[in-house]
Structure 1
Amino acid sequence: MRKARVLIDRDFAIGHTDPRLFGAFIEHLGRCVYGGIYEPGHPTADEKGFRKDVLALVKELGPTLIRYPGGNFVSGYNWEDGVGPLAARPARLDLAWFSTEPNSFGTNEFMDWCRAADVAPMMAVNLGTRGGDAARSLVEYCNHPGGTAWSELRRKHGWDKPHDIKLWCLGNEMDGPWQMEHKSAAAYGAIASEAAKMMRWVDPTIELAACGSSGRNMPTFGQWEDTVLEHTFDHVDYVSLHTYLNNYRQDTASFLASPDLMDSFIEEVVALADAVAAKRRSNKRLMLSFDEWNVWYRTRRSRADRVKEGWPVAPPILEEIYTMEDALAFGGACISLLNHADRVKVACLAQLVNVIAPIMTETGGGAWRQTIFFPFAHMSRFGRGKVLRTQVESDSYDSSYYDPRGVQELTFPVSNVPYLKVAAVAGEGGGLSIFLLNRDLKRDMQVNVEARGFGRFAVSQAIELRHDDLHATNTKDTPERVKPAPLQEGTIEGGLLRAHLGPASWNVIHLSVH
């Protein structure tokens, strides 16, 4: 059995979690919208066509923010196609996913769905095939009270009150050649700064995120951020970054180490943003929007493969089936986000339903939770509050991680990977939540946690997610094969929390403090 020690002090904090750290993502991609959140005629559908079984699972999952409508899709999207009478909306070819977009679901339907799900919206604008003029018109349509052409059109469409969308993305992954009308850093920086300026003139209260690198392995990483932020620094509040973890090489130990590279990516982007501030002698600090993150590698497809399928409506693509192993790597990513709460203020799990998602549905049928559903739900439920610094003493291992996403393939060394990855959050109600990932695939772990400055505490809830088969999945036929169970061995002895963690396990311990 391995042994580990964790020291936490109530006064040593990283920062508070922003409510928008627990976000997710809906894109017009595959069955995410059609057959996912929206399916008129489904037995559970409400009068607006929203699946109530999906809404129930979304509320259980606990996202606070939803990014929309893309993703790659947004770089060719005309937002005007998705508003107004349904019968008058045009069908379009979507070049991002080689599908036909019927535009039955658009901006206003999305806002109604956000209200039904009790989440905030994060709206992306098209800076691929379009630019600042379309972006500022969309802000006017959504946020202006009335009396102008676009705001009155919204009212004519049946939404009298403004949507008041506060958070906006200036395009998506514009560094990627897979993006429609992808741009150089200088060209994107110029169009983003002008769009931001006009959008803010329409509504000075909005917050804006500029596109950072779409992956740490992009050949332009670093130079992209430096150039883009030289253009946009004065106009934006956030810079984005995206990461998808993979296990292409079927090396579980390396896969579970990959969230530590997510830590490095965050810290590097922080350094790049602060370097731009330093050159300007500015005390402004840009925050980070990690608005795409997940495990994804099995269902990646080339454009040649997509073309062969013709132009279907809502095809079942990118429907990754997640394993117990995936849930462990995913849980490590949750811990990485929590441990950078001082600068990562927005994060969006990509995506929400069917497409690389925690929730799966059968069109016309049921809905169920994938394995990754549970770490996210735990993070959202127990991760709100003040994130504390943790001093961890644990055995470690060395590994390497292969990442082919983007336009080059790289292998990153990952050194001194602790078998125990930890985050601790002091809740606003006074409790303490500890997230513990045991990355040892074969050995149990005895963990002693010393929490200073809290007084007396007791274990109020202890949860374990593990399965003897790391390839176990949840399907429509076995929807509860992988699910959380009580962590049996968590005790308080002499002011110390002693927890016994199973091998390859995700664990959450919530302490009530007296």
Structure 2
Amino acid sequence: MNQSAKLVLDPAFTVGTVDPRLFGSFVEHLGRCVYTGIFEPDHPCADESGLRTDVLDLVRELGVTTIRYPGGNFVSGYRWEDGTGPVEERPRRLDLAWRSTETNRFGLGEYIAFLREVGPQAEPMMAVNLGTRGVAEALELQEYANHPGGTALSDRRIAHGDKDPYGIKLWCLGNEMDGPWQTGHKTAEEYGRLAAETARAMRQFDPGVELVACGSSNQGMPTFAAWEAKVLEETYDLVDYISLHSYYEERDGDRDSFLASAVDMESFIENVVATCDHIGARLKSKKKINLSFDEWNVWYMNRPNPHPVTDWQEAPRLLEDVYSVTDAVVFGSLLIALLRHADRVTVACLAQLVNVIAPIMTEPGGPAWRQTTFYPFAQASAYGRGRVLRTAVESPVHETAAYGEVPLLHTTAVQDETTGAVTVFAVNRHQREGLPLEIDLRAAGVSTLVEHSVLADADPEARNTLAEPERVVPHPARGTALEGGVLRATLEPLSWNVIRLGTSSG
């Protein structure tokens, strides 16, 4: 490749400040995410609550903040009270969403205990069932979880061993209610009315509650945009966010299009923002609805499950994708897309956290390890806090079947508001050739190259597995140099890059 990419950074031009909630994740009662994932009382590493401490260590290292629970499709048939009280008295139920048997050994109290063990950065994001249930059940859950005491439901929580309220502020009003696969699927009109009624009632309990209305399950839905418009007409003054969900996979061997998946994600975000602002203008409202991208990932939906599964199993092996270097590069590009829209995407949840299309894998009774996708997320969470800078980019392009002409460089940059340090996140989408990169940093006030970390491999299919848990790890780049306020580097083919730059004072 003869052409190089150029990037100019100036802290005077920013997108917005990153909300820590952008680095959220998702725990659903699906497959082995909960059971033998985060919760395995008989495991040698289990603590007194049944939580796997080896997994807790990795969750902290990953740097997740908000953790959404308990679904997902699961929530639309879930009775929250089944997961409370003495474990031996909890009912076993059929989960229609994933055709599994739910034991309810792990429920609301265990979820809150898990968050507390992860640490103070882990904030609850609770979904209410608006598929088979409604306003009354949402209010009962809110009272059980958040009222200090002196009522039947709050006293029940205290009797169950939790004296202090859970303090859940962020709530999802159902899940993917536009999807025909969803138990209790509704039209936009039906859902909009129910969401408004639920939101209004929950605000009577707590005027400061933060609420997420269901947007489209993906941009390809036939009702996309019309769904958002109708739902927001009903709920605009009652909710704070509308949700987006999107998953990506390589199709028909078209890797170039797969590597450009973030083109679709950015289009999705911008189209939802336009729809939100259109409804706001129609309603003559000064309020801005923000976006909760509360399900996103690489997910191979069209691959057969290699594990034998029968209906109504407990915690079957479902959706246990093993991610390659290529998947991790796409994953990193999706993170870049979220950061590039940090002014409006203020909540995001990687789906999911453990075992199920997850950055962390476990074996029952055995070890836990990091997938390839673990590293981009951990690095973005660690170094992607601060102000997102606008990027003036010149990049060579190539043609893709799905998205047309696409830049080979996908990038963003974040400046730490305390130290002034700048981190550049960059992906080279070219499968075979390195990409020379020049970054003009003269206005940024940085003077030192702290690190240039690369996730890439000569084998684009390389994976971390039980047998080789550290086959793929980030490595230092060669030849990167900062001189006279200009950084020069060559991004390896098909690579995720983190370039950290410091100031003389910090």
Tell me the TM-score range normalised by the shorter chain: over 0.9
Aligned partner letter, 2:380: M
Indicate how the Cα distance of structure 1 residues 315 and 307 shifts in structure 2: closer, same or farther if over 3 A, else same: closer
| Corresponding residue SS for 1:459 | strand
2:261 corresponds in structure 1 to 258
Indicate how the Cα distance of structure 1 residues 191 and 311 shifts in structure 2: closer, same or farther if over 3 A, else same: same
Instruction: Report whether the alignment pairs 1:458 with 2:454.
Output: no
Match of 1:470 among 460, 463, 472: 460
Q: Which structure 1 segments of 5+ residues have no match?
A: 402-413
Aligned partner letter, 2:90: R
Query: Equivalences for 1:280-299 in 2 at 5 Å?
Result: 280-298=283-301
Aligned partner letter, 1:190: R
| Corresponding residue SS for 2:427 | strand
Question: How big is the shift at 1:500?
Answer: 1.5
Answer whether contact 2:307 2:317 (CA < 8 A) is retained: no
Alpha-carbon distance in 2 for matches of 1:80, 1:46? 24
Indicate how the Cα distance of structure 1 residues 308 and 427 shifts in structure 2: closer, same or farther if over 3 A, else same: closer
1:283-322 deviations in Å (ceiling 9; x for gaps): 10000000000000156679xx999712110001110111
Indicate how the Cα distance of structure 1 residues 360 and 308 shifts in structure 2: closer, same or farther if over 3 A, else same: closer
Aligned partner letter, 2:317: P
Alpha-carbon distance in 2 for matches of 1:216, 1:135? 28
Alpha-carbon distance in 2 for matches of 1:307, 1:253? 32
1:408 corresponds in structure 2 to none
Length-normalised TM-score, structure 1:
0.95
1:51 corresponds in structure 2 to 52
Answer whether contact 2:9 2:390 (CA < 8 A) is retained: yes
Question: How big is the shift at 1:462?
Answer: 1.4
| Corresponding residue SS for 2:22 | helix
Query: Equivalences for 1:341-420 in 2 at 5 Å?
Result: 341-401=342-402, 414-420=403-409
Alpha-carbon distance in 1 for matches of 2:309, 2:457? 38
1:424-479 deviations in Å (ceiling 9; x for gaps): 00013320000010011111111110124323411112100001111111101101
Alpha-carbon distance in 1 for matches of 2:399, 2:136? 51
Alpha-carbon distance in 1 for matches of 2:111, 2:447? 43
Question: How big is the shift at 1:174?
Answer: 0.2
Question: How big is the shift at 1:112?
Answer: 0.5
1:380-402 deviations in Å (ceiling 9; x for gaps): 0110000000011011122133x
1:513 corresponds in structure 2 to 503
Query: Equivalences for 1:470-509 in 2 at 5 Å?
Result: 470-509=460-499
Instruction: Report whether the alignment pairs 1:446 with 2:446.
Output: no
Instruction: Report whether the alignment pairs 1:169 with 2:159.
Output: no
1:197-222 deviations in Å (ceiling 9; x for gaps): 11111122210000000000000001
| Corresponding residue SS for 1:110 | helix
Aligned partner letter, 1:179: Q
Question: How big is the shift at 1:486?
Answer: 1.0
Aligned partner letter, 1:294: N
1:180-238 deviations in Å (ceiling 9; x for gaps): 01000000000011111111111222100000000000000011001000011111000
Alpha-carbon distance in 2 for matches of 1:28, 1:234? 32
Match of 2:233 among 227, 230, 233: 230
1:343-380 deviations in Å (ceiling 9; x for gaps): 00000000000000000000110011111111111110
Alpha-carbon distance in 1 for matches of 2:309, 2:62? 36
1:330-351 deviations in Å (ceiling 9; x for gaps): 0110000000000000000000
Which of 242-251 and 392-401 deviates more?
392-401
1:315 corresponds in structure 2 to 316
Length-normalised TM-score, structure 2:
0.97
Question: How big is the shift at 1:415?
Answer: 2.8
Instruction: Report whether the alignment pairs 1:425 with 2:425.
Output: no
1:221 corresponds in structure 2 to 224
| Corresponding residue SS for 2:381 | helix
1:110 corresponds in structure 2 to 111
Alpha-carbon distance in 1 for matches of 2:354, 2:361? 6
The runs of 4+ residues in structure 1 deviating greater than 3 Å are 298-302, 305-308
1:241 corresponds in structure 2 to 244
Q: Which structure 2 segments of 5+ residues have no match?
A: none
2:212 corresponds in structure 1 to 209
| Corresponding residue SS for 2:342 | coil
Alpha-carbon distance in 2 for matches of 1:166, 1:301? 39
1:407 corresponds in structure 2 to none
| Corresponding residue SS for 1:472 | coil
Match of 2:276 among 273, 280, 285: 273
Answer whether contact 1:299 1:318 (CA < 8 A) is retained: no
Aligned partner letter, 2:173: L
Alpha-carbon distance in 2 for matches of 1:389, 1:425? 9
Answer whether contact 1:299 1:317 (CA < 8 A) is retained: no
| Corresponding residue SS for 1:9 | strand
Indicate how the Cα distance of structure 1 residues 190 and 512 shifts in structure 2: closer, same or farther if over 3 A, else same: same
| Corresponding residue SS for 1:278 | helix
Which of 452-461 and 310-319 deviates more?
452-461
| Corresponding residue SS for 2:259 | helix
1:86-127 deviations in Å (ceiling 9; x for gaps): 111000000000000000000010001001012111000000
1:404 corresponds in structure 2 to none
| Corresponding residue SS for 1:390 | strand
Indicate how the Cα distance of structure 1 residues 267 and 472 shifts in structure 2: closer, same or farther if over 3 A, else same: same
2:6 corresponds in structure 1 to 5
Aligned partner letter, 2:411: V
Alpha-carbon distance in 1 for matches of 2:320, 2:433? 32
1:225-275 deviations in Å (ceiling 9; x for gaps): 010000111110000000001112121111011111100000000000001
Which of 197-206 and 431-440 deviates more?
197-206
